[in-house]
Structure 1
Amino acid sequence: MFMLDFNKLYVDNHLKRIQPNIILGVFCKIGNSMAYRSFRSYNYRDRLIRHQNFLGELSPIGMNSSNTDKMDATFDLEWVDESHSLVRLRSINFPRHYLRHQNFRVKLHEDNPADPLMRADSTFIAEQGLASPYGWEFISFRASNPNLPGHYIRHRNFHLYLDLIRPNDQIGREDATFEILYPAVTNFQPY
């Protein structure tokens, strides 16, 4: 299903960060971008991360879903700082908008380069999936803010939040793990 090139895989085992030279069938770095990707829930296999009404959600997206729903579930995963695995999730249908946390709720906001809080709240550390210690096709997004140690994007009642995930919280670890997929939408014009 997924091809993993172990010759090009480098993992910082201490911090479990994904390094930018990782090559995985669906996780290939192209310039500053990871190209377009979708992210499926580890524990709800029919649901993808998406934005809806400018909020982060976890929704069923399939072959029969509308093109708009598929576009809402497709993101450009951009590298902010490769040496620290810092990434941002940019919407493909609102190309100046990024997923960010605000009051611990994940939202889609327009980027404002003059606002350091927006930049900080929309930057995450890409890590190996918390619930999948052996599968690099899974990813978790940890808050980059040092004041929020152990906080990850996770779903709760199918809404996306930034929550503290404790090592012994198996449900939390599963809720914060997402499978990296090819884009849900295939017939769109890039910005």
Structure 2
Amino acid sequence: MAIRLQSFNFPKFFVRHQNFEGELMELNSPGFADDFAWEEEFLRKDGDGFSIVRFRSKNFPDKFLRHSDFRIVLTADDGSQLFRNDSSFRRRNGLSGDPEQGWRSYESVNFPGHFIRHRNFHVFVDDKAPKLAADATFKRVDL
């Protein structure tokens, strides 16, 4: 099932790929709706019971969101352990918002304490400073 990732602190904005980089934008560009669509793939549970997931692009199904030098980019799976780690995220309750309303945060598997977040409308993984909590909280919106 395809989803969109809605920003907690900019609720009209969603994570998308543009030029193979993660961006936070309004969903108002005709013809580009699939750039905002992801399949959240469940990989496994970790030792604490959290789901480990990765995000496959709807319109580039061979490509996944991953971090590279802390920037979120869209690239093909090269089969390496590094790629698997860079594209895997621990789904946690939102650092902001009510988890009962679906707010979640996504922690890097290979950089614990670093979460997917937006900064100046570009998407990165960054450390969990309290002032960044709203930037690192998203809601899955089913398509």
Task: Name the TM tier (shorter chain).
Answer: over 0.9
Which residue is equivalent to 1:179?
139
Q: How does 1:1-191 map to 2 (within 5 A)?
A: 35-62=1-28, 65-67=29-31, 69-82=32-45, 83-113=49-79, 115-145=80-110, 148-166=111-129, 169-170=130-131, 172-183=132-143
Query: How does the TM-score come out when normalised to structure 2?
Result: 0.92
Please, which runs of 5 or more residues in structure 2 have no aligned partner? none
**Helix, strand or coil: the match of 2:100?**
coil
**Helix, strand or coil: the match of 1:66?**
coil
Q: From the superposition, tell whether residues 134 and 54 of structure 1 become closer, same or farther in structure 2 (CA, over 3 Å).
A: closer
**Helix, strand or coil: the match of 1:109?**
strand
Q: From the superposition, tell whether residues 66 and 164 of structure 1 become closer, same or farther in structure 2 (CA, over 3 Å).
A: same
Deviant stretches of 4+, over 4 Å: none
Q: Shift of residue 139 of structure 1? A: 1.2
Q: Shift of residue 89 of structure 1? A: 0.3
Q: Which has the higher contact order (CA 8 A, sep 6+)?
A: 2
Q: Deviations over 1:118-173 (max 9, x none)?
A: 1110000011111024434111110011xx2210000000000110012xx23x00
Instruction: Answer 1 or 2: which has greater strand percent.
Output: 2
Query: How does the TM-score come out when normalised to structure 1?
Result: 0.70
Q: From the superposition, tell whether residues 124 and 134 of structure 1 become closer, same or farther in structure 2 (CA, over 3 Å).
A: closer
Q: Shift of residue 84 of structure 1? A: 3.8
Answer with 1 or 2: which has the greater Rg: 1
The CA distance in 2 between the partners of 1:117 and 1:124, in whole Å, is: 13
The CA distance in 2 between the partners of 1:37 and 1:134, in whole Å, is: 17
CA RMSD of aligned residues (A): 1.3
Contact 1:128–1:136 at 8 Å: present in 2 too?
Answer: no
